Amino acid sequence: MHFNTACIHAGVEPEPITGAIMTPIFQTSTYVQPELGVNKGYEYSRTENPTRSVLQTALAALEGGKFGLCFSSGMSAIDTLISTLKSGDHVLLCDDVYGGTHRLLKRVREKQGILSDFIDFSDLRLIESHIRKETKLLWIESPTNPLLKIIEIPKVVEIARRHGVKVAVDNTFMTPYFQRPLDLGADIVCHSLTKYLNGHSDVVGGTLIISDETLYQELKFIQNAVGAVPSPHDCFLVLRGLKTLAVRMERHQQNAFDVANYLVGRKEVNWVRYPGLKSHPQHDLARKQMTGFGGMVSFELKGGIEAAKRFVKGLHLFALAESLGGVESLCDHPAIMTHASVPQEIRMKLGVSDGLIRLSVGIESADDLLSDLECAFREA
C-alpha cells in the first residue's frame, strides 16, 4: 500500500454496527462486562479506548512499526520511555534538542538518579567516547530543533548495537512521510502528535512507535499505570488529520523551499538553515536519509534581540507562537520561547542566539508568505 493510501486507510475499518466510515468518538470512561471476568476487549478507557486503538494501529502502520501507543502530550510520551530506566542509568542525547526534552532530563529526571549528557551527534567519534556501561538509550532528533542539523541515524544505530544500547528518534519534524527511523535501524520512534501528524493546531498529544513486543508491553504497562492518555476526541481529530498528511507535507515543503531561498538573499540575515538547500552543511546526508526536507526553516538575523523584536512585530501571516506543523505559518524565537528553559550559556554554545528565528512554514500561498516576510524585514 502506497503511503498516501495508508494515510487514509491504515488501521481504519468501517464501524461494524452502523457502517460509519469515520471511526466514532467512543466518549466513555468504562465498559459494561457481560459477566464476571469476561469483557468485550475493553474495561476502562485509561487502559484502552476503541478510538485510541484505531489511532495507535494507524500510526504504527505509517511508521512501519508493529505497535503504537498514544499519550496526552509529546512530553508524556518521552517521559514514559524514560520511565523504563532506573536510577543510575544514563541517557545520551544530541545537544540540539527541544527545550522541553532538555528540561525533563536535567531538571526532573536527574533528581531521580537518571543521568544524561547532551553532545554533538554529528561527530560519531564523540558518541562512541561518551557511551559508558550505564548508558541505556541514545536519543536523536533529526533534523534537530531548532538548528536543523541532520544526524546520520544508521551510523548512530551501528554504534549503539556495539554497546547494547537502544536508539530512539524524535521524528516530529519529518513525519513518516519524509523519514522512517525504524527502517533505518532505530528501536523507538517518538512524535508530538500536536504537530504535523494532526496538522491543525487543535490537539496536544504524543506517540511512541516500536516493533519489539517486550518493550511494547513494558511501555503499555507504564501508559496504563501513569494514565497520561489522550481523550477519545483528541484521537479522533488526529485520525482526521492523518488523512491529509501526505498532501500537507508536500505543500509545507514546497513553501519552505520558497521561503528558504528568499531568506538566503537577504542582507539582514547571517545564515539560513533548511535541509533542502545545497548550502546546508549536511544536504547530501539529508538527501540520502530522507525522501524530503520538511517545512521548518531557521535563520539568524543580524542585530540580535532588538532586530528580532522588530522583525516579529512586522509579521502578520506568520503568527508569533510556540509549536509547529499546523496548516498556518508560525514564527518562534527559540531563546525566549521554546528553548528558554535551556541555560543561556548552553544556548550560546549551541548557536541558539538572540537573533535566531525558527519558522514553521504553513500551506498558505507562498506569495503571501513572502510578502509577509518582506513587511517584517522593512520593520526590522
Q: What strands lie across the sheet with 135-141, from one edge to the other?
A: 67-71, 206-210, 188-192, 166-170, 135-141, 90-94, 115-119
DSSP bridge partners of 30: 44
232 and 275 both lie in a single domain: no
Range of the domain at 304: 246-379
C-alpha cell at 350: 549551541
The pLDDT score that the predictor gives to residue 115 is 98
Is 191:207 a contact under the CB 8 Å cutoff? yes
106 and 148 both lie in a single domain: yes
DSSP bridge partners of 69: 208
What's at 277, amino acid-wise?
L
31 conformational bin, left if phi > 0, alpha if psi -120 to 50, beta if neither:
beta
| Domains contained in the chain, number | 2
21 and 155 both lie in a single domain: yes
**End-to-end CA, the chain:** 49
| Catalytic positions, written as ranges | 46, 98, 170, 195
78 and 132 both lie in a single domain: yes
DSSP one-letter code for 109: I
Domain end position, chosen among 192, 215, 242 = 242
232 and 320 both lie in a single domain: no
Across the chain, mean pLDDT equals: 96
Buried residues in 14-23 as b, exposed as e (16+ CB within 10 A):
eeeeeeeeeb
The pLDDT score that the predictor gives to residue 341 is 81
Can you tell me the mean pLDDT for 116-140?
96
Residues 132-181 have pLDDT tens digits of 999 999 999 999 999 999 999 999 999 999 999 999 999 999 999 999 99
264 and 355 both lie in a single domain: yes
Cα of 244 vs its chain's centroid, Å: 18
367 and 280 both lie in a single domain: yes
46 and 95 both lie in a single domain: yes
- Cα 296 to Cα 150: distance, rounded to the nearest angstrom: 13
Can you tell me the mean pLDDT for 23-47?
94
The pLDDT score that the predictor gives to residue 348 is 85
- Cα 285 to Cα 150: distance, rounded to the nearest angstrom: 7
Q: What is the CATH number of the domain that holds 78?
A: 3.40.640.10
Domain end position, chosen among 197, 227, 242 = 242
- In angstroms and rounded to an integer, the radius of gyration of the C-alpha atoms of the chain is 21
Can you tell me the mean pLDDT for 69-78?
98
* DSSP β-ladder status, 188-192 and 269-273: unpaired
225 and 268 both lie in a single domain: no
Peptide bond into 34 cis (omega under 30): no
DSSP bridge partners of 300: 271, 356
Q: Is the pLDDT of residue 380 over 80?
A: no
253 and 232 both lie in a single domain: no
237 and 250 both lie in a single domain: no
- Cα 164 to Cα 146: distance, rounded to the nearest angstrom: 29
The pLDDT score that the predictor gives to residue 347 is 87
The pLDDT score that the predictor gives to residue 227 is 96
**Residue 111 burial (CB count, 10 A):** 8
Domain end position, chosen among 191, 211, 242 = 242
Q: What is the CATH number of the domain that holds 333?
A: 3.90.1150.10
209 and 255 both lie in a single domain: no
Residues 212-268 have pLDDT tens digits of 999 999 999 999 999 999 999 999 999 999 999 999 999 999 999 999 999 998 999
**Which segment of 37-41, 50-54, 328-332 scores lowest on mean pLDDT?**
37-41
Nearest C-alpha neighbor of 115 from the set 159, 82, 77, 163:
82
